[in-house]
Structure 1
Amino acid sequence: MAYIGSVPDTAVRRLDWMDQMACRDVGPAVFEDDDQEHEARTICIARCPVRSQCLAHVKTVERGLHRDQRDGVVAGLTYTERHRLDAAAPRHQGDAALLKFDGTERCGTHLALLRHLWLDEPIDSKCWSGKVKRDRKNRGAAAPEDGESASDLVRAVS
């Protein structure tokens, strides 16, 4: 007797990774509001297990778009940063210059953090703690203690 039941569909779908995004249960306002940029970056960088797939997807979808056609924080990068890193994007008068990396970016600087994010490199504690220190300073919060680790800084803002 032949089996006549159905075979379950187990094929991997192209965007299945989206089910695992850390931002799925977070309101979109967090990623669109400039005042919540640090919180959005923390979700992307420190909590998202599929940031690499998200980055590859946004690079494909936004390739060649102007800054005005991009929105919010995605994969840990703001719309302006993604525009400045996209060599195929059109430049208008008044736009910030294209960012290029030459490997001399000093860890702990904003440019090094952008390099790590754009090239999908591991984000070292020096770059992340430098970002947290800059954000705290910009928000007028107390600076972190010298002995505070990057994981302590991530927990402090989470």
Structure 2
Amino acid sequence: MTTNVLILCTHNSARSVLAEGMLNHWAGVLGKDVRAYSAGSAPSGRINPHALTALQAAGISIEGYRSKSWDEFTGDSAPDIHIVITVCDNAAAEQCPYWPGKPVKVHWGYPDPSNASEDQKASAFELTRQALGYRMLQLLAHPLNELDSSEVQAILSHISKT
């Protein structure tokens, strides 16, 4: 069974997209049956070009990324979500919709790389991509589809402290 992970950030334009890209990349490299998605409560309608550049520079295809609403993941045709990760402070404080199946939730906050000065933006996005990638590797080190929700919650909580 595929473990579906939904990564949320308010505008779904940078951090959540970087996290989606890194989790899907590492899951593919490691042969893990994990699928990441990203969304936002108030999607901007566009992906920050610096996020796409950071993914592309890491050898990750940027095809198919788009800024989308978390509403796409609440309907009958949506994938069953097992884990919800918020990566920005605004999304952590927002009231999330009801997710069928009661997914495990965690907040892994990252500063918004979009707020960096223009001459530091590329570096800020790259550092955010690396930090997210590191946490995704930690997550994938566990047999997620063999664990119950309390075990997954403990793993996510432990990773949030690293």
State TM-score, norm by structure 1: 0.28
Structure 2 length as normaliser, TM-score?
0.27
Tell me which protein shows more strand as a share of its residues.
Answer: 2
Looking at both structures, which has the greater relative contact order when contacts are Cα pairs under 8 Å and sequence separation is at least 6? 2
